[in-house]
Amino acid sequence: MPRPDRSPLLLAGLLATAGVAHFAAPRQFDAIIPRALPGAPRTWTYASGAAELALAAGVALPRTRRVAALATAAFFVGVFPANVKMAADWRGRPAPLRAAALARLPLQVPLVLWARGVARSGKGQS
């Protein structure tokens, strides 16, 4: 399978893995939920995990790929505040952990671009 053909499935795999992680180890995600959001952090953790699983399914299926990939790009933008909170909260952690938290911030850009690229390659399939 050529690389461009695998790209949607790789994106779906990333989303599915992250979605499962929200249910398998929710406490680490609860900690990065911005306090400004109403309700319990665990509710947001489970909701975002479910959203990632739904997006993974949508990106994996050619019929829904374009719309799901565009929604994925929006999702990646939407979770950016959690990454900012994590970077701020981890300022006092050891250097490797601080670096990992800070690295997540610019990582959102290629993730958004990847999802948009998958949407473009899925034109006419939805």
Residues 93, 99: Cα–Cα separation, whole Å: 9
Residue 126 has pLDDT above 50, yes or no: no
Mean residue pLDDT of the chain comes to 92
Q: pLDDT tens digits, residue range 68-89?
A: 999 999 999 999 999 999 999 9
Q: pLDDT tens digits, residue range 12-25?
A: 999 999 999 999 99
pLDDT score for 4: 53
Q: pLDDT tens digits, residue range 47-66?
A: 999 999 999 999 999 999 99
pLDDT score for 1: 44
pTM score, two decimals?
0.88
Q: pLDDT tens digits, residue range 24-45?
A: 999 999 999 999 999 999 999 9
Residue 9, φ and ψ in degrees, nearest 5? -70, -35
Residue 119 has pLDDT above 60, yes or no: yes
User: Average pLDDT in the 85-106 region?
Assistant: 92
Is residue 122 within 8 Å of 71, Cβ to Cβ?
Answer: no
